[in-house]
Amino acid sequence: MSSWLDYTINGLIVGNVYALVAVGLALIFGVSRLINFAQGSIYLVGAYIGWVAVVQLHTPLPLTIIVVAVAAALVGLIIERFGLRPLQNSARIAPLLATIGISFVLDQIVMLTFSPNPRALPSQLPDVRFQVGNGTIGPLDLLIAGVGITSALLLFVFLRYSKLGWAVRATAQDRDAAMQMGVDVNRVNQAVFGIAAALGGVSGMLVGMYYNQIDTAMSLQATLKGVVAEVVGGAGNVPGAVVGSLLLGLVESYGVAVFGTSYRNLFAFLLLVLVLVLRPNGLFASARQAPPEPLTGTFIAPSRPVRIPRWALAVAVGGFAILPLFPVSFYVLQTLINAWLLGMLALSLTLVAGTIGQVSLGHAALLAIGAYTSALLSLSLSVPVGLAVIAGGLMSAALGTTLISPSFRLRGHYVSIATLAIGEIVSLVILNWEGVTRGPIGISGIPPLSLFGYDLISASSVYWFSLAVMIVLALLQGRLLTSHLGRSFRAIRDDDIAARAYGLSLNRYKSLAFIFGGFAAGVSGAIAAHLYSYINHETFNTQQSILALTVVILGGLGNVVGAVVGSVALVGLPEVFRIAAEYRILIYGIVLLLLVRFRPQGLLGTI
Amino acid sequence: MSNIDRRTLVKGSLATMMAGAAFSRTAFAQSSEPILLGVSGPLTGPNAQYGTQWKQGFDLALDEIHAAGGINGRKLAYNFEDSQSDPRQSVAIAQKFVSDSRIVMELGDFSSPASMAASPIYQRGGLVQFGFTNSHPDFTKGGDFMWSTSVSQADEQPLLAQYAVKRLGLKKLAVLHLNTDWGRTSRDYFVKAAKEYGAEVAITEGYIAEERDFRSTLVRVRDASPDGLILISYYSDGALIARQARQVGLKQTICAASSVYSPKFLELGGEAVEDVHLGTRYFPEDPRPEVKKFIAGFKAKYSGQEPDAFNAYAYDAMNMAAAVVRIGGTDRRAIRDAFTKVRDVSSVIFGAATFDVETRRVKGAMNAELVVRKGQFALWDGKPT
């Protein structure tokens, strides 16, 4: 029984760590209705500034904290001024994408400056430990708890009782009204970003000291856990973020206690999905909170889609179709094969995110389901590869739609968070369900693509095959968009209340969109599995989901041609910059930022 | 990118793109250009540090090879393409290398998914894929163009089990392992060997690579009351587990797989890794001349920095590649055949290394039994801690 006390204490300690990130996220969400994916990167920056202060400048702890807080706040102010303020009047998805781009840039700058090797960040507190239960806690545990809870309390007091705090809350509730009442909205935003960044930076430093270890890969994990904690607590609710973090820590700890270590993150994301389904606004959302804004135009930038004449499309398709007949290198063909596979995924995402308005951050899960289905069918049951690929698509459609369906009643950003969680859950189930998926060992020796008994092995035959599949899927989707069904989809996206008033069953139409999209993504994953011959649970990861989202935004939401153009661009871009090696991701991030800034409706516009 | 100037690279890739393989083969056949190896590995992304370590090892080996007159008078160089250890990118890089006739052999990739996804392309393209960190048991089963100097876990784990059970006398073990193909395979080999030596494995716990918090896992371990902890970890997570084990009050003997062997393990673990036992494939104080030469050269080139295992793997791989190219020349198929002929190449990890033609791996890795004493790795003196 005494072990339960230990599990509880451990859960609270790690919950403290999550709270440090979640509080900053909650503050920014409260004001800007923005999930700041760069918060983890500021945390990273804070950790490395802390390292410079401690290891090279030998600052004492109070001074270290001040240095880190000020420097991180400065980074936050720069992000707000140059990264996000220009996007104020653009589509709501633009700042979200911008924070993703900013996180790429920050992570890479830190990596280039400090090298990716992990570093030790020594704790500046005496190493005494107090016995609690059978374990111990130390001064740093207490400091982290202190910083987390104190900052939450201070913020609460600040928001409730100070003038600037009122301005922050007024801005959060209704930006335009606040502006009319004379609130300097930009100053409010600046203040919030500064505070959140200072908190984020200090938390990175403290967590670095806690583990005596910092490395450049720590930012994504911090963001993920922070987002989960924040949403569980109620997005935008600062004390809620603290409680959500502690709850997350406890659930993880008890999960380990009962089921073992490898299930740990599975429970974190299941908790998130459960909370979203039962209490979509989080556990501590106040009843008086303004209703979620209608989706009308939420994700859609005002633009007229670029019409590409049919003959031009036909010429382009023809050109790509005869490409392998010319002496191009296999490398070019392989790069384009990757683009066609990404294109199928982007078609799927542009349908659900663009046409029906359900932004998905977990689309890689659909790839994984298709890939595993097809690989296992062809390997274990000797199903012909052609049929197995189709089965992969069908399985993705069925399973993906079933998994995603509880989130159909969610709105706005919550849909993206739910899909992010479902993506992680699928990956963790693959890792743990060893009887079927072979767990961490992965599946090797997957047979190559074949059609009617002929193996498609050469780069050109795989190229033609994937191009053909993508074109068929694109034509079907183009047809779908011009049909009655497509118009119903767009009606739901533009105004779901009006659509419902017209008698459209939202869940049924959303299911239809996910079934169609799931099939395209599943086929893409299945082809990839046969192409790679080896897959494991990491082959299709969150980064792939984010890449797909970037593609469809680049191309223009809901735009079929745009999805393909975006895929070619974003598969090609990193290859073009390959020559710049270490600077590749940095350049990619900057390009993403510039696109979001200057062409938020995407290259070809939204349909 | 430091070994080839940009113009050569642009010229080369333009030539391949425009004219295809046939043209460029004639164009480069008689040139005095360096013999070019392709490297596919992570320079960015979550595994970026390993790519950086590879480069250090490669560059040191190349300095020595060139000082000794190169490959029959020609220089050896490599073209490092960043795959982020991502299968999508390693596959594209594989096509690039296969169709670039200047590339005579490929080294890498880092992780199993990235390497094995690219294997079919190398196999069909007839270009050797020389994986030197690929301990996945299926890697060399990809075909006769897949060769590896990575120590197979089938070789390594029984040595660790022997150290823990036979030499340290641990009878009841808890195994914590990274839940990847590597960690999982290693765990299975370890558990099998430990049982054969008569120990009981009370609990095994797999954790994912991004995990930072192990306190709850360690409570589970404590409740299984083992007398030794076995870490199948990399140095960064190994150090984390050791620290947290001491913090939650676990005082058992800790044994770790050789993959924690790195100065970083000591730096990150601090006092918590004192008395940790580990086997290792190479050890700087090893009196063998090839090890001494490697350490001295590395410290001289990288301003006193201590090399670690991944530096050594890369260094050995480059030397092995040079030895193979010396026999096989620049013909890809001849290079493949040269792997079966090359004998007793001086190496840090294996001493005199020779490939087993059946498994396409090298057998007989060196094993030093170490313990951390006073913040340093030391040869174990046989006294229990």
pLDDT value for A601:
76
DSSP A352: I
- Is residue B312 within 8 Å of residue B294, measured between CB atoms? yes
The mean-pLDDT minimum among A78-92, A298-312, B135-149, B325-339 falls in A298-312
As a whole number of Å, the CA-based R_g of chain B is 21
- What DSSP element (H or E) covers B373? strand B368-373
Which of B111, B106, B112 has its CA nearest to residue B126? B106
Cβ proximity of B83 and B108 under 8 Å? yes
pLDDT at A267: 87
- By Cβ distance, the residue of B81, B219, B247 closest to A578 is B81
Across the interface, do A329 and B99 touch by the CB < 8 Å criterion?
Answer: yes
DSSP, collapsed to helix, strand or coil, labels residue B356 as strand
Cβ distance A578 to B82 less than 8 Å, yes or no, reads yes
Query: Best residue in A4, A6, A44 to probe B by mutation, most B CBs within 10 Å?
Result: A6
Question: Considering CB atoms only, which of B82, B212, B220 is closest to A584?
Answer: B82
Nearest to A262 among B18, B98, B179 (CB): B179
> Token pair for residue A341?
């596979």
Whether the per-residue pLDDT at A336 is higher than 90: the answer is yes
CB pairs under 8 A between A and B: 225
Q: d(Cα B385, Cα B380) in Å, to the nearest integer? A: 10
Amino acid (one-letter) located at B151: V
Helix (H, G, I), strand (E, B) or coil at A90: coil
Between A522 and A12, the more confident residue is A522
Mean pLDDT of A21-50: 89
| DSSP single-letter state for residue A605 | -
Choose among B112, B63, B57, B64: nearest CA to B80. B57
* pLDDT tens, position by position, B182-226: 899 899 999 999 999 999 999 999 998 888 889 899 999 999 999
pLDDT the model gives residue A189: 85
B52 with A116: Cβ contact below 8 A: yes
pLDDT of residue B15: 43
Q: Is B222 on the interface with A (CB under 8 A)?
A: yes
Q: How far is CA B84 from the centre of its chain?
A: 16
Is the per-residue pLDDT at B294 higher than 90?
A: yes
Asked whether the beta carbons of residue A215 and residue B236 sit closer than 8 angstroms, the reply is: yes
CA B209 distance to own-chain centroid: 17
CB A328 to CB B215 under 8 A?
no
> A408 with A510: CB under 8 angstroms?
yes
Contact A582 B82 (CB under 8 A): yes
Q: How large is the angle between the packed helices A584-598 and A560-576, nearest 10 degrees?
A: 150
The pLDDT of residue A201 is 94
Average pLDDT over residues A464-493: 92
The verdict on a CB contact (< 8 Å) between B210 and A217 is yes
Q: In what helix (H) or strand (E) does residue B81 lie, and over which residues does it extend?
A: strand B76-82
And the tokens for A199? 């908190």
The CA-based dihedral angle spanning residues A50, A56, A59, A64, taken in that order and rounded to the nearest 10 degrees = -10
What is the per-residue burial (b if ≥16 Cβ within 10 Å, else e) of B336-357? bebbbebeebbbbbbbebebee
Q: Specify the 3-state DSSP secondary structure of A541.
A: coil
What local confidence, expressed as pLDDT, does residue B144 receive?
Answer: 93
Q: Which residues pair with B346 in a beta bridge?
A: B352
CA distance readout (Å), A17 to A43, A266, A325, A416: 12, 19, 57, 24
Check B268 against A120: CB less than 8 A apart.
yes
| Chain A contact set for B243 (CB, 8 A) | 211-212
Chain B partners within 8 Å of A218 (Cβ): 212
Q: Are A219 and A25 in contact (CB under 8 A)?
A: no
Chain B residues whose beta carbon lies within 8 Å of the beta carbon of residue A459: 95
Average pLDDT estimate for A530-554: 85
Q: Degrees (nearest 5) of the Cα angle A331, A333, A339?
A: 110
Q: Is B127 on the interface with A (CB under 8 A)?
A: no
- C-alpha separations of B248 from A10, A140, A236, A568 in Å: 9, 14, 35, 52
Strands A135-137 and A130-132: antiparallel
Closest residue on chain A to B118 (Cα): A532
- What mean pLDDT is reported for chain A? 86
| Segment 11-40 of chain B within 8 Å of chain A by CB | 16-23
**Interchain proximity A211–B82, CB inside 8 Å:** no
pLDDT at B371: 93
Buried b (16+ CB within 10 A) or exposed e, A363-375: bbbbbbbbbbbbb
Q: Does B181 touch chain A (CB under 8 A)?
A: yes
pLDDT at A65 over 60: yes
Q: Which residues does A373 contact at the CB level (< 8 Å), separation at least 6?
A: A388, A391, A392, A395, A396, A522, A526
Who among B20, B210, B213 is closest to A327 (CB)?
Answer: B20
Say what the pLDDT of residue A282 is. Answer: 76
| Cα separation, B185 vs B177, whole angstroms | 10
Taking residues A426-452, report their average pLDDT: 89
pLDDT in tens, B69-89: 889 889 999 999 999 888 888
CB atoms within 10 A of CB A392: 33
CB A221 to CB B17 under 8 A?
Answer: no
Question: Which pLDDT score, from 0 to 100, does residue B384 have?
Answer: 64
pLDDT of residue A131: 76
Q: CA B128, CA B323: separation in Å to the nearest integer?
A: 14
- Return the higher-pLDDT residue of A376 and A573: A376
Flag if B219 and A135 touch (Cβ within 8 Å). yes
* pLDDT tens column, A136-190: 778 888 888 888 788 878 888 888 888 888 888 787 777 788 888 888 888 888 8
φ, ψ for residue A445, nearest 5 deg: 70, 30
| C-beta atoms of B112 and A536 within 8 A | yes
In this predicted structure, the answer to whether residue B18 has a pLDDT above a threshold of 50 is: no
Q: Are A16 and A141 in contact (CB under 8 A)?
A: yes
| Residues B219, A535: C-beta atoms closer than 8 Å | no
Write out pLDDT tens, residues B150-190: 887 888 899 999 999 999 999 999 999 999 888 998 999 99
pLDDT at B298 over 90: yes
Which pLDDT value is given to residue B206?
94
E-strand ranges in B120-267 read: 129-131, 146-148, 172-178, 200-207, 228-232, 253-256
A110 has a pLDDT exceeding 90: yes
Contact between A421 and A269 under an 8 Å Cβ cutoff? The reply is yes
Residue A166 vs residue B36, higher pLDDT: B36
Q: Does B9 touch chain A (CB under 8 A)?
A: yes
Q: Which residues of B touch A213 (CB under 8 A)?
A: 212, 236, 239-240, 268
Average pLDDT estimate for A523-548: 88
Q: DSSP assignment, residue B74?
A: B
pLDDT reading at B233 higher than 50: yes
A534 vs B117, B121, B205: nearest CB: B117
pLDDT in tens, A67-105: 999 999 999 999 999 888 888 777 667 788 788 889 989
For B76, phi and psi rounded to 5 degrees? Answer: -115, 135
Gap between the Cα atoms of B362 and B5, Å rounded:
34
Residues of A in contact with B10 (CB under 8 A): 579
The pLDDT confidence band at residue A582, using thresholds 50, 70 and 90, is low
Contact call for A532 and B87, based on CB within 8 A: yes
Q: Which residues on chain B are in Cβ contact (under 8 Å) with A108?
A: 44
Q: Which residue of B has its CA nearest to A218?
A: B210
Has residue A473 got a pLDDT over 90? Answer: yes
Closest by CA to A22, choosing from A173, A159, A169, A149, is A149
Verify whether the Cβ–Cβ distance A10 to B52 is below 8 Å: no
Q: Could you tell me which of A215, A170, A217, A168 has the C-alpha nearest to residue A196?
A: A168
Nearest Cβ partner for B91 among A212, A532, A574: A532
| Six-digit token string for B220 | 């589970």
Cβ contact B116–A534 (<8 Å):
yes
pLDDT score of A84: 86
Q: How far apart are CA A200 and CA A427, in angstroms?
A: 28
Contact between A256 and B217 using a beta-carbon 8 Å cutoff = yes
> pLDDT value at position A505?
87
B-chain residues near A328 (CB < 8 A):
17, 20
CB B319 within 8 A of CB B71: no
Pairwise CB contact (< 8 Å): B88 & A338: yes
In which band, very low, low, confident or very high, does the pLDDT at B385 lie, cut at 50, 70 and 90?
low
Nearest residue of chain A to residue B249 (CA atoms): A135
Of the residues B116, B188, B219, B231, the best mutation for testing chain A's interface (the one with the most A CB atoms within 10 Å of its CB) is: B219
Are residues A441 and B181, on separate chains, in Cβ contact within 8 Å? yes
> What is the pLDDT confidence band of residue B29, given thresholds at 50, 70 and 90?
very low
pLDDT(B37) > 50 = yes
For the residues B35-56, what does the mean pLDDT come to? 90
Cα angle vertex B340, ends B338, B341, to 5°?
A: 65
CA distance B41 to B108: 6
DSSP B308: -
Q: Whole-angstrom Cα distance, residue B44 to residue A112? A: 9
In B247-276, the residues whose Cβ lies within 8 Å of chain A are: 247-249, 264, 267-270
Q: Is the per-residue pLDDT at B11 higher than 50?
A: no
CB contact under 8 A, A457 and B124: yes
List chain B residues with CB under 8 Å of A136.
Answer: 247-249
CA trace torsion A161, A163, A169, A173 (10° rounding): 130
Q: What is the pLDDT of residue A413?
A: 73
Confidence of residue A345 (pLDDT cuts 50, 70, 90): very high
The owner of tokens 């993508």 is: A470
